[in-house]
């Protein structure tokens, strides 16, 4: 844990404990956290599209973990707000965790296209990266690695959820490959890896998202001041 400008930065292990305390002790359902993360991501994505999602082409690159579920929630909101959204999955459906699988089921019922092949990322107005969460240690592999390289080579703006896929949340090491984001929306608290000088080129503009972590949980991890007094999004 480190502090900068009154905001606590946490390691991957500390963030895991925050999530666990919030879900197990405070009974804040993971679906609620996911909903808040996805909605604020959709909000920031809309701001990146000059304030409107209507008619814009957006690709949500999703993995099979909860970070991927966050991206699916963002896809749902952006579709409701008028965007033409396609979800590109880096993980086969039968290998997704149960919670993101529920989100995928909603998207399928909504008729949102779920792609696995035959896509050109240069055709979109915005890419949302929710391939890998804060637990990564080691190089991304297989299809996810290919999607990261394609996103970086697309020439389109990229919004990373929580952290750029391919970055170590604790150290800031950028594995091979790693998303080079236009903006990163980190969830609840920023990660210590963001303070590493080498991380800046991958993060882009850094924002913090309120996902309904109780204030008592923040305080127990050293965050004493009140976050999100005016907005669920805070630039840091």
pLDDT tens digits along 11-53: 999 999 999 999 999 999 999 999 999 999 999 999 999 999 9
Give CA–CA dist 76/83, Å, rounded: 10
Tokens of 156: 């389109």
Give CA–CA dist 180/199, Å, rounded: 10
Tokens of 136: 């990564």
The secondary structure element, H or E, covering residue 175 is none
Give CA–CA dist 40/184, Å, rounded: 12
Give me the residue spans of the domains in the chain.
2-224
Pick from 43, 45, 97, 42: nearest CA to 67 = 97
Q: What is the pLDDT of residue 139?
A: 97
The 3-state secondary structure of 146-166, one letter per residue: HHHHHHHCCCCCEEEECCCCC
Tokens of 117: 């092949």
Instruction: Report the relative pairing of strands 2-4 and 7-9 from DSSP bridges.
Output: antiparallel
| Angle made by CA atoms 228, 233, 236, in degrees to the nearest 5 | 85
Confidence of residue 166 (pLDDT cuts 50, 70, 90): very high
| Angle made by CA atoms 101, 104, 105, in degrees to the nearest 5 | 90
Distances (CA, A) of 227 to 6, 119, 222, 230, 232: 10, 39, 13, 9, 9
128 CB neighbour count, 10 Å cutoff? 33
Confidence of residue 125 (pLDDT cuts 50, 70, 90): very high
Confidence of residue 175 (pLDDT cuts 50, 70, 90): very high
What does the pLDDT look like over 132-153, one tens digit per residue? Answer: 999 999 999 999 999 999 999 9
What does the pLDDT look like over 205-229, one tens digit per residue? Answer: 999 999 999 999 999 989 987 788 8
Domain spanning 2-224: which CATH class is it, in words? alpha beta
Q: What is the pLDDT of residue 227?
A: 85
Q: Exposure of 57 by Cβ count < 10 A (0-12 exposed, 13-18 middle, 19+ buried)?
A: middle
The secondary structure element, H or E, covering residue 21 is helix 12-24
Confidence of residue 167 (pLDDT cuts 50, 70, 90): very high
What does the pLDDT look like over 64-118, one tens digit per residue? Answer: 999 999 999 999 999 999 999 999 999 999 999 999 999 999 999 999 999 988 8
Residues 6 or more apart whose CB falls under 8 angstroms from that of 186 comprise 162, 163, 194, 206, 207, 208, 209
Cis peptide before 177 (omega within 30 of 0): yes
Confidence of residue 195 (pLDDT cuts 50, 70, 90): very high
Q: What is the pLDDT of residue 196?
A: 97
């Amino acid at each position: 844990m480190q502090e900068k400008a009154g905001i606590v930065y946490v390691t991957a292990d500390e963030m895991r404990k925050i999530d666990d305390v919030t879900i197990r002790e405070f009974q804040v359902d993971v679906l609620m956290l996911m909903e808040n993360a996805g909605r604020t991501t959709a909000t920031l994505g809309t701001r990146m599209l000059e304030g409107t999602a209507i008619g814009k082409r957006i690709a949500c690159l999703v993995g099979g973990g909860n970070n991927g579920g966050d991206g699916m929630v963002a896809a749902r909101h952006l579709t409701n707000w008028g965007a033409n959204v396609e979800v590109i999955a880096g993980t086969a459906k039968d290998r997704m965790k149960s919670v993101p699988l529920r989100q995928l089921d909603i998207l399928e019922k909504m008729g949102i296209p779920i792609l696995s092949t035959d896509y050109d990322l240069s055709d979109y107005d915005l890419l949302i990266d929710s391939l890998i969460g804060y637990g990564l240690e080691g190089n991304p592999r297989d299809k996810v690695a290919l999607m990261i390289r394609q996103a970086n080579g697309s020439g389109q703006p990229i919004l990373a959820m929580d952290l750029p896929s391919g970055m170590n949340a604790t150290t800031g090491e950028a594995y091979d490959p790693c998303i080079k984001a236009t903006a990163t929306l980190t969830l609840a608290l920023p990660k210590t890896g963001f303070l590493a000088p080498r991380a800046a080129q991958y993060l882009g503009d850094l924002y913090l998202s309120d996902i309904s972590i109780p204030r008592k949980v923040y305080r127990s991890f050293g965050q004493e001041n009140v976050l999100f007094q005016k907005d669920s999004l805070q630039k840091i």
